Amino acid sequence: MGLTIRDVAKAVGVSTATVSNVLNKRGKVGRRTHDLVLSTVKRLGYLPNIHARRLASRDTRTMGIIVSDIVNPFFPEVIMGFLARTRQLGYETILSETNYDPRRTQEAAIRMMAHNVGGVAIMTSEFSARLIDELTRRKIAITFLDLAPARGYVSTLRIDYASGIEQIVKYLYQQGHREIAFVAGRPRLKSNEARLEAYERSMQASGLKPGPVLHGDLRFEGGLAAGLAIAQMSPRPTAVMAVNDLTAVGVMKGLVSAGLRIPQDISVTGFDKTRLAEYSNPSITTVDIHRDLLGQMVADALHALCSSPNPQGREYEVSAELVVGDSSGPWNS
Amino acid sequence: MGLTIRDVAKAVGVSTATVSNVLNKRGKVGRRTHDLVLSTVKRLGYLPNIHARRLASRDTRTMGIIVSDIVNPFFPEVIMGFLARTRQLGYETILSETNYDPRRTQEAAIRMMAHNVGGVAIMTSEFSARLIDELTRRKIAITFLDLAPARGYVSTLRIDYASGIEQIVKYLYQQGHREIAFVAGRPRLKSNEARLEAYERSMQASGLKPGPVLHGDLRFEGGLAAGLAIAQMSPRPTAVMAVNDLTAVGVMKGLVSAGLRIPQDISVTGFDKTRLAEYSNPSITTVDIHRDLLGQMVADALHALCSSPNPQGREYEVSAELVVGDSSGPWNS
DNA sequence: AAACAGCGTGTAAACGTGTTCTCCAAGGTT
DNA sequence: AACCTTGGAGAACACGTTTACACGCTGTTT
């Protein structure tokens, strides 16, 4: 189809090796020839065929990212940060979505291996140990989120849920709240367990008795049910911490439909700082876990693993930060 | 690194061509050999190298999608639909994000060309005519959204804003509303103009006088200002149509903070059916433009262009559908 | 019996780069 | 004058796959 490196070489009157050396900045070419090659490349509009390049060179300079669900508001910003950073580092990036389906998870892993990626960021929990072994066997670097411990080719990023939750509890305490309920997510999900544990620990650290704890589903509906239940409680908690923003929205809807005012009658907090928190009415007090930064850190972590001859998996900590909105306020008993 | 097709061929005791024929289902292979090859492939865990495959085959079976902003809630569902459909059709897909930056738009186009894609879905308006010419010159199929007219290698998808707006107006009319305000978006944006025009036309078709029309910014803040302004009007409109959901959220916040109740005192509608509409309080009456379906249609459109020897660009219409929420209700004067 | 068709399979040539090795010329250094 | 250094030519080969074509076998037709 398009032009090849040979066409360029012929047009300049040099060998293909010289053109290749110029394009890959190997610096073995004289200034005059160098400039001439570059201008000719631009003039002809030559583009190196990426497949040929990846095939010929040992290093594919490619990374993959596997997410469970692009529509889940957690992921777009992570992806954005990841794409930006890998691009900066000179990697090609491929994205796969699994939609929580183990079969598609497997397909995604296969795609990564067929692409011969240097590393892959795994952002879904439906990932069988067999697939991980397979990737490791092929010396493909991996990063996980909140999951497996780090080892040779595997690095892990841990979001500091504990700190985020602790900040909320301290803030609510300062505002005068003493009875603080918690609406949890799915029992088996690691990131959820972590938040629940952190809640219990932080409460005790502030000298408060944890509870009541209700169980949601990480979705709007679960939050709604929890909100309705809390509205009926007696004595009623003065504040509700939800495991994530979406749950918080549901909780708020439940409380409001039971006739309570937020934050005058009861305070509500979320987690994750999605757009929802910002645009919800009232805006939600939440915790920013810097998802774009997280994406960048994942890329850096993979890059570190890829470029080392003897990779040592590490653990990274991602900080969390309280963001106060209009859904919470002082409590005067 | 990994196994090659030669290793498989050797293990089975056939030629590489035979293995290739089996893997590509060309059906020129005897049943016995066919099965033997397949089981050996599985046993050894062989994966065809994608770069070699793309290089050797004339058709790369690859498509690209360029979006301006993954974080913009419009895109994730479109991307999801696009990925799902292209996967079904057997294409590899690559995604580029431009972040509204013309330089990155160019980079994205270059990436697509270097990948030798069959077609690319362009979902950003910052796209120079030069780039489009370049793509067309390389016989790369293109789809646009609401933009250029269709021609040879270019198909266009038009969202039926007119129908969506008309459905809202008719619905509000049935509910007894006669004074319906409109909060517009950015003046130059095509999709916004279309909605404004449709509003005026639909109002006249129902025998109503259009107006007042306020100008927002497609964001929360613009909606908020408009909401506050509308609350002060006398006579006050009984319903407000916002150009999109985010604006509607702002409008509602403005109205509520001025002491009005929704929908008892005034009805509000949005557009796009983002998650915001669903989780907002009250939930917003809006229009679903079926973004995942849109993504699928884009993939189908590109596939049609790619697989035809003499491509004829078409225009496609994407339907819109009213979704009634709690932000609107009957009006009894 | 010769010709033919069809099927299954092997052979070898692409595909467009990157890599590497040999070789060479011109200029500069001892 | 013998010896480096630099910039580059030229050619071959690797990369792993696809694919056009050739070949041989079997069974059928003329």
Pairing of strands A321-323, B119-123: unpaired
Which candidate in B23, B246, B281, B294 is best for mutational testing of the A interface (most A CBs within 10 A)? Answer: B281
Question: Tens digits of per-residue pLDDT, B313-323?
Answer: 999 999 999 99
Question: Tens digits of per-residue pLDDT, B73-84?
Answer: 889 999 999 999
| DSSP codes, A310-325 | S----EEEE--EEE--
Q: What's the confidence (pLDDT) of residue B228? A: 96
Judge whether residue A22 contacts strand D, using its CB and a 7 Å cut-off: no
Separation CA B105–CA A98 (nearest Å): 27
Separation CA B319–CA B321 (nearest Å): 7
Contact criterion met (CB < 8 Å) for B275 and A113? no
Separation CA A332–CA A318 (nearest Å): 35
Detail the DSSP E strand segments found in A98-248: 119-123, 141-145, 154-159, 180-184, 213-215, 239-242
Judge whether residue A33 contacts strand D, using its CB and a 7 Å cut-off: yes
Q: What's the confidence (pLDDT) of residue B147? A: 76
Q: Looking at the predicted structure, is the pLDDT value of residue B205 above 90?
A: yes
Distance A57 CA to C23 C1' (A): 25
Separation CA A122–CA A98 (nearest Å): 11
Tell me, yes or no, if the two domains B62-159+291-320 and B161-289 fold the same way.
Answer: yes
| DSSP codes, B239-297 | EEEESSHHHHHHHHHHHHHTT--TTTT-EEE-SS--HHHHHSSSPPBEEE--HHHHHHH
Percent of chain B whose predicted confidence (pLDDT) is above 90: 68
Judge whether residue A11 contacts strand C, using its CB and a 7 Å cut-off: no
Q: Is the CB of residue B124 less than 8 Å from the CB of residue B68?
A: yes
- Residue A215's DSSP bridge partners are A184
Question: What average pLDDT does chain B have?
Answer: 91
The residue ranking higher by pLDDT, A219 or B289, is B289
Pairing of strands A119-123, A62-67: parallel
Prediction pTM value = 0.88
Strand C: which positions are within 7 A of a protein CB? 7-12, 14-21
Calculate mean pLDDT across residues B208-216.
92
Residue type, A325: G
**Cβ-nearest to A280 among B47, B77, B280:** B280
Judge whether residue A144 contacts strand C, using its CB and a 7 Å cut-off: no
Residues 36-75 of A with CB under 7 A from strand C: 46-49, 52-53, 55-58
Question: Tens digits of per-residue pLDDT, A220-273?
Answer: 889 999 999 999 999 999 999 999 998 999 999 999 999 999 999 999 999 999
Which candidate in A1, A71, A123 is best for mutational testing of the B interface (most B CBs within 10 A)? Answer: A71
Pairing of strands B286-288, B321-323: antiparallel
CA dist B155 to A152, B98, B132, B135, B313, Å? 49, 21, 13, 13, 4
- Topology classification of domain A161-289: Rossmann fold (3.40.50)
Token pair belonging to B306: 């790619």
Contact criterion met (CB < 8 Å) for A51 and B47? no
Distance B29 CA to D22 C1' (A): 17
Separation CA B253–CA B255 (nearest Å): 6
Residue of A nearest to B53 (CA): A51
Separation CA B261–CA B252 (nearest Å): 9
- Topology classification of domain B5-48: 434 Repressor (Amino-terminal Domain) (1.10.260)
The winner for highest mean pLDDT among A8-12, A329-333, B233-237 is B233-237
Question: What average pLDDT does chain A have?
Answer: 91
Q: List the domain boundaries for chain A.
A: 5-48, 62-160+291-319, 161-289
Q: Looking at the predicted structure, is the pLDDT value of residue A1 above 70?
A: no
Of A71-75, A188-192, B283-287, give the lowest mean pLDDT range: A188-192
Model confidence at A187, in pLDDT bands (50, 70, 90)? confident
Judge whether residue B21 contacts strand C, using its CB and a 7 Å cut-off: yes
Calculate mean pLDDT across residues A2-25.
88
Q: Looking at the predicted structure, is the pLDDT value of residue A190 above 80?
A: no
User: What is the architecture, at CATH level 2, of domain A62-160+291-319?
Assistant: 3-Layer(aba) Sandwich (3.40)
Burial track A128-141 (b if 16+ CB lie within 10 A, e otherwise): eeebbebbeebebb
Token pair belonging to A136: 């490791």
| DSSP codes, A264-308 | TT-EEE-SB--HHHHHSSSPPBEEE--HHHHHHHHHHHHHHHHH-
Which class is B62-159+291-320 in CATH?
Answer: alpha beta
Q: What's the confidence (pLDDT) of residue A172? A: 97
Helix (H) or strand (E) holding B143: strand B141-145
